[in-house]
Amino acid sequence: MKSTMMNVPLTTAAIMRHGSTVHGSATVRTLQPDGSVKTGTFAEIGRRAAQLANALRGSGVTGDERVATFMWNNQEHVEAYCAVPSMGAVLHTLNLRLTPEQIVYIGNHAEDRVVIVDGSVVPLLAPVLPQLSSVHTVIVTGDVDLAPLRRDGLAVVGYEEFIADQPETFDWPDLDEQSAAAMCYTSGTTGNPKGVAYSHRSTYLHSMAACAADGLRVSSDDRVLAIVPMFHANAWGLVYAAFLAGADLLMPERFLQAEPLVRLIDGEKPTIAGAVPTIWNDVLHFLETHASYDVTSLNLVACGGSAVPLHLMKAFQEKYGIHVVQAWGMTETSPLASIARPSASLDVDEQWRLRATQGRPVAGVELRIVDDGGNVLPHDGASVGELQVRGPWITGSYFGEDEDTDKFEDGWLRTGDVGRVDERSFVTLTDRTKDVIKSGGEWISSVELELLLAGHPDVLEVTVIGVPDEKWQERPLAVVVVREGRDPSPADLRDFLDGKVAKWWLPERWSFVSEVPKTSVGKFDKKRLRSSHSDGELTVVEI
Ligand code: ADP
């Protein structure tokens, strides 16, 4: 029987229309270099998005051509999020922290036609621009010198000039909800980055999942601080979720250090925030020595991208009443796939145990674990295998690649993450396949060692990598940044671990550094550490 329901496509235009009309007075608030905050209402952003779409059309953007952004989190970036996909083009958020080679590769692979760039990052774009062969127009926000970008055959224009005099309405086309809305490249930790193209439908459904009560619970009472960059898996969907919910968006621009973030929280009172654990670790450390700031407006902090140390969650809860919620996902999963929100009816210790996991799949996402032989393993809390997922906002292929048997299996995405799932579907990741430490034929979880060591009072940052070992094939090397004024010995740290993990997991190799290198999205860069180690650049103490 045919349903009697209307077939109304789920599109970004629908998200934008809802936000800019029903919640027209909600605001996007962007931190400025002088510490002030620039405010635009959703209604205004809807009008400016129409102007941007008219101007892009006027500059020749047609069909599903790619319009790239090279921007921090700010109002103009939100306008591009609204305008570009809603006019039928594809928004390509370029990660401005990638290397010039990666930016060139990605920009050409996506065939970007237009780049919208923040004035503050023109110096990053200018050197690579001549190699972005499909780009015909560059639009620059802010009041900066455009000369470094100019060359023959390229239109370079200021953002405000570009949209000025354009009509404040646009005839948003009826789009197929399955067509591409936005694309994002994986950061390419192995091989070349791969393009993920989100559809209108996947974007809409993912935004609803983010707003759901057991998701991030975004509502019209909220002010959402999106610290996670808009080029990192669409700021975890927070922008579109805020438009659906009518929540204010608070944007830190390029000021992502603990001090400006804490000042911003103190002054603007966000209720929800999202960022990777390294940022929250910095914030916590800063607050310990700057007690006058008030961050207690935050109710919920979404944290993920790498495993969230329990001590970090507990510190925020106990000192500031802030609920840090761990979530797991990938660029390929839009990204929200699972979230650790155990039932409040469980006893407190059990809730903490479960909050330290990667959580349960959100409705819409299915999950399984599979062993090396392709066998699906039981969810018994003990069997360990590769995590595979599927669902309407999980990518089923990569842009420009017909088939990638390596990354997909029977309609499931192979995540490259290894872990176990318990009877209630809570996932515990033990490692990424490429980070697993294989010692004497058995696996050592680098993540588990890191999470435990992060709880030592003298440790500021820590990551654990596998390094070659003649006898055992690989052994763990702990790379540690100690807190100011502290001087723990390797033996102290090893003793701290003793009894918490199997004896043979205890690292005998230790390296003390001033900072752990981070990836373009703020995670510990294990690949770089492994090569520093093999190049003999790390001082290693053996005990
Ligand atoms: P990259 O591959 O550069 O890290 P992504 O942001 O797509 O880019 O990263 C996805 C990966 O991040 C996941 O496959 C997983 O390994 C890791 N990850 C994400 N969330 C968590 C989490 N809560 N705990 C542990 N690992 C996580």
pLDDT at 190: 58
Question: Which residues have CB under 8 Å from 362's CB, separation 6+?
Answer: 209, 212, 214, 215, 336, 337, 338, 339
Residues of the chain with pLDDT under 70: 188-191, 403-405
Residue nearest to atom 26 of ligand 1 (CA): 306
Residue nearest to atom 3 of ligand 1 (CA): 187
Q: From 192, 198, 328, give the residue whose CB has the most ligand 1 atoms within 8 Å, as the site to mutate.
A: 328
Q: Assign residue 26 a region: left if phi > 0, alpha if psi is -120 to 50, beta otherwise?
A: beta
Each residue's pLDDT tens digit, 370-381: 999 999 999 999
CA 195 to chain centre: 15
Q: Which residues line ligand 1 (CB under 6 A)?
A: 186-187, 189, 233, 304-308, 326, 328-331, 358, 415-417, 429, 432, 519, 521, 523
pLDDT at 403: 66
pLDDT at 459: 96
Residue 81 tokens read as 């999020």
Return the H-helix or E-strand segment holding 204: helix 200-211
Point out the residues that are catalytic. 186, 332, 438, 443
Peptide bond preceding 457: is omega within 30 degrees of 0, i.e. cis?
no
Q: Which ligand 1 atom is nearest residue 187's CA?
A: 3
Q: Assign residue 279 a region: left if phi > 0, alpha if psi is -120 to 50, beta otherwise?
A: alpha
Q: How many CB atoms lie within 10 A of CB 16?
A: 26
Q: CA of 291: how far to CAs of 227, 323, 538, in Å?
A: 22, 19, 36
Cα-to-centroid distance, 278 and ligand 1 (Å)? 13
pLDDT at 482: 96
Residue nearest to atom 9 of ligand 1 (CA): 330
Residue nearest to atom 19 of ligand 1 (CA): 305
Each residue's pLDDT tens digit, 211-226: 999 999 999 999 999 9
pLDDT at 522: 85
pLDDT at 402: 73
Pick from 44, 51, 19: which is nearest to 168 by CA? 51
Q: Which ligand 1 atom is nearest residue 326's CA?
A: 23
Q: From 185, 303, 330, give the residue whose CB has the most ligand 1 atoms within 8 Å, as the site to mutate.
A: 330
Cα-to-centroid distance, 190 and ligand 1 (Å)? 14
Cα-to-centroid distance, 276 and ligand 1 (Å)? 10
Residue nearest to atom 5 of ligand 1 (CA): 330
The domain locations on the chain are 435-542
DSSP string, 31-57: E-TTS-EEEEEHHHHHHHHHHHHHHHH
pLDDT at 433: 84
**Adjacency order of strands within the sheet including 336-339:** 37-41, 27-31, 248-251, 223-226, 272-275, 300-303, 323-329, 336-339, 360-361
Question: Which residues have CB under 8 Å from 357's CB, separation 6+?
Answer: 326, 340, 426, 427, 428
Cα-to-centroid distance, 317 and ligand 1 (Å)? 24
- Rounded to an integer, what distance in angstroms lies between the CA atom of residue 359 and that of residue 306? 13
pLDDT at 442: 84
- Rounded to an integer, what distance in angstroms lies between the CA atom of residue 196 and that of residue 182? 8
pLDDT at 189: 60
Q: Which ligand 1 atom is nearest residue 359's CA?
A: 23
Cα-to-centroid distance, 193 and ligand 1 (Å)? 15
Please say whether the beta carbons of 463 and 277 come within 8 A. no
> What are the φ and ψ backbone dihedral angles of 42, each rounded to 5 degrees?
-60, -35
Cα-to-centroid distance, 307 and ligand 1 (Å)? 8
Return the H-helix or E-strand segment holding 532: helix 526-534
Residue nearest to atom 24 of ligand 1 (CA): 307
Fold of 435-542: GMP Synthetase; Chain A, domain 3 (3.30.300)
Please say whether the beta carbons of 261 and 279 come within 8 A. yes
pLDDT at 188: 65
pTM for the full predicted model: 0.93
Residue 117 tokens read as 């760039």
Strands 442-444 and 427-432: unpaired
pLDDT at 344: 94
* Orientation of helix 238-245 relative to helix 75-86, angle to 10°: 80
- Rounded to an integer, what distance in angstroms lies between the CA atom of residue 388 and that of residue 498? 33
First to last CA, the chain: 72
